[in-house]
Amino acid sequence: MKIFTSEQVRSIDAYTIENEPIASIDLMERASVQIASWMGEVFEGERPFAFLVGPGNNGGDGLAVARMLAGMNYVVEVFLIRISKKLSPDAAINLERLQRQGKVGITEVEDTGGIDSLSRFSADNPTAVLVDSIFGSGLTRKVGGLAADVISMVNSLPNLRVAIDMPSGLFGEDMRGNNPDAILKADYTLALQSPSLSFFFSENQEYTGIWEVLPIGLHPEILESEETQYRYLLPQYLSTLLTERKKFDHKGSYGHALLIAGCYGMMGAAVLAARACLRSGIGLVTSHVPRFGYQILQGSVPESLISIDQSDIMFSAAPALGLFSAVGVGPGLGCKPNSGKALKELIETVSVPMVIDADALNLLSSNPEWISLLPENTILTPHPKEFDRLFAAESLKGKERSDREGKSQAGYERHLLQIEFAGKHKLIIVLKGAHTSIAFPDGRCWFNTSGNPGMATAGSGDVLTGIILSLLAQGYSPGNSAMLGVYLHGLAADLAAETSSEESLIAGDIIESLGLAFQYLKGSRNETDT
């Protein structure tokens, strides 16, 4: 579940070589077996392969995999990109082994003539898979010269592209200052042991394509002991966080949540959040809604208790909080001044865990001085635009605000601001996206691995708020509520899409699949135990 920096990966490799002990060439062989096995399972035997090989150890991986696939009777060609006349020691050994096998044609690419030969191979073999092993995760400088020309040409070819370890030209972490025209665009990336941090940011998806992590047997001791602030969510771990229900438990055992949501024209958000809260294990939920929303909630969510605001059309005052074990506020709330005043009063009086979303976040952006009033470990669930607006407003508090929206240049930059914001205010920031990230006050950050593009639909965020609120009210810690809530939300969407499609997915489908998502997590726990 850990995400290591490129520098850490190098030290982990070195530790494994020294302490297993194992020769570096044998560790490369072990990794190559995993890669060749993956390719053999995914691609049919009649598809040829062309390996683009660099002079370093990433090239050594490619040469070893080429030899293994040729031994499995695949048609394989190697294009050795002569960025340097000298190969790394392990790459040189694997080149010699490949030559000795005698099954693979090897073309040296030293100039435009060599590049043309690769282009001709593609034209003659339109079904060929191009395998990128020019540069690995250790790259720290943007690519130029011959390698950049090769990458640019490869990106123009129609063939399927698979990157070993890292698409050539991509950096492991911070991509600012890189040359986007000199980064290989892979359809698949096969990460070795751990994904790189850059894989989790939207601007890099066009380079990584679909990425998978292949275990290569690095030393378990160093994997366990090496510290990192980054991790990603997997069901085997999250299943251990689920609490067991006891025979004599009753609805009072599972908390009482207060959901403050809805205004004139946006009561659907309140309905979705309340239904999601109930489907996530809560004992009782009270939905606080404007007076005119009473019949809507009572008819749509009969399992919810109703608290009626004194206003007909908006949130204007919170009820007494003594009954509740957690509070959620924001879905469909609207941004009227009276709602802002009520939100401030809520923040100043709440003494139980709280999750804040949607219009409640927008009200905070309009009144950034309230952020310092938020109780420690309050969960905020912004999407990127809401986060940019919130961070810009808070950072420019008390100054002239010319750009109320704010704007981060890239996902990595927004990620750094997310960690800074969480630490400064001691909050848990759930930044929603394809890999929703959860930043904690102590600097830790977890990335989600469940979910699909079908979740880009109205009401999906309201469902997440309801799930997290339910878990908070049941007594899960704010951190565990955020992690479980985010993963279950995405997992339910994945399960729903399996029975229909990503295109047809709506927020209500996510709610209806929550039961299956809980079952899946429990099954992961049982698999781990056995």
CATH number where 60 lies: 3.40.50.10260
Q: How confident is the model at residue 405 (pLDDT cuts 50, 70, 90)?
A: very low
E-strand stretches of 102-224 = 105-109, 129-133, 160-164, 188-192, 210-214
Q: What pLDDT is attached to residue 45?
A: 77
The reply to whether 187 and 250 lie within a common domain is no
Q: What pLDDT is attached to residue 34?
A: 98
The reply to whether 215 and 255 lie within a common domain is no
The reply to whether 224 and 246 lie within a common domain is no
Q: Per-residue pLDDT for 394 more than 80? A: no
The reply to whether 86 and 154 lie within a common domain is yes
What six digits make up the tokens of 129?
Answer: 């898979």
The answer to whether residue 121 is domain-embedded is yes
DSSP assignment, residue 243?
P
Contacts (Cβ under 8 Å, ≥6 apart) of 103: 67, 70, 71, 76
Q: Per-residue pLDDT for 114 more than 70? A: yes
What six digits make up the tokens of 100?
Answer: 């000795």
The angle formed by the CA atoms of residues 154, 156 and 159, to the nearest 5 degrees, is: 70
The answer to whether residue 54 is domain-embedded is yes
Q: What pLDDT is attached to residue 492?
A: 98
**Dist CA 52 CA 154 (whole Å):** 9
The answer to whether residue 1 is domain-embedded is no
Q: What pLDDT is attached to residue 527?
A: 62
Residue-wise pLDDT tens digits, 30-53: 999 999 999 999 997 789 999 999
Q: Per-residue pLDDT for 2 more than 70? A: yes
What six digits make up the tokens of 251?
Answer: 């609805």
The answer to whether residue 432 is domain-embedded is yes
Pick the last residue of a domain from 228, 260, 290: 228
| Span 4-22, average pLDDT | 96
- H helices present in 265-336, as ranges: 267-278, 294-300
184, 201, 199: which is closest to 408 by C-alpha? 201
Q: How confident is the model at residue 526 (pLDDT cuts 50, 70, 90)?
A: low
| Span 306-335, average pLDDT | 98
The answer to whether residue 347 is domain-embedded is yes
| Span 288-298, average pLDDT | 97
pTM, two decimals, is 0.95
Amino acid at 196: S
Q: Residue 478 belongs to what domain range? A: 236-529
The reply to whether 170 and 263 lie within a common domain is no
Residue-wise pLDDT tens digits, 228-271: 999 999 999 999 999 999 999 999 999 999 999 999 999 999 99
In terms of C-beta density within 10 A (0-12 exposed, 13-18 middle, 19 or more buried), how is residue 102 classed?
exposed
Pick the last residue of a domain from 212, 228, 244: 228
Contacts (Cβ under 8 Å, ≥6 apart) of 75: 48, 49
Q: Per-residue pLDDT for 399 more than 60? A: no
Instruction: Round the average pLDDT of the chain to a whole number and report it.
Output: 95
The reply to whether 220 and 240 lie within a common domain is no
Contacts (Cβ under 8 Å, ≥6 apart) of 141: none
- CATH number (domain holding residue 244): 3.40.1190.20
**Dist CA 145 CA 135 (whole Å):** 14
Total structural domains within the chain: 2
| Span 324-350, average pLDDT | 98
Pick the last residue of a domain from 175, 204, 228: 228
What six digits make up the tokens of 488?
Answer: 């279950």
Residue-wise pLDDT tens digits, 463-494: 999 999 999 999 999 999 999 999 999 999 99
Q: What pLDDT is attached to residue 403?
A: 42
The reply to whether 399 and 252 lie within a common domain is yes
Residue-wise pLDDT tens digits, 118-170: 999 999 999 999 999 999 998 989 999 999 999 999 999 999 999 999 999 99
The reply to whether 170 and 243 lie within a common domain is no
The reply to whether 369 and 320 lie within a common domain is yes
Residue-wise pLDDT tens digits, 42-100: 997 789 999 999 999 999 999 999 999 999 999 999 999 999 989 999 999 999 999 99
Q: Are the C-beta atoms of 272 and 507 separated by less than 8 Å? A: yes
Residues of the chain with pLDDT > 70, as a percent, come to 96
Q: How confident is the model at residue 530 (pLDDT cuts 50, 70, 90)?
A: very low
Amino acid at 403: D
**Dist CA 38 CA 199 (whole Å):** 20
The reply to whether 243 and 179 lie within a common domain is no
Distances in Å between the Cα of 280 and the Cα atoms of 58, 255, 274, 414 are 45, 12, 10, 30
Query: Half-sphere exposure of 507 toward its Cβ, with a 13 Å CA cutoff?
Result: 21
Q: Per-residue pLDDT for 529 more than 60? A: no
Q: What pLDDT is attached to residue 401?
A: 39
Q: What pLDDT is attached to residue 409?
A: 59
DSSP assignment, residue 283?
S
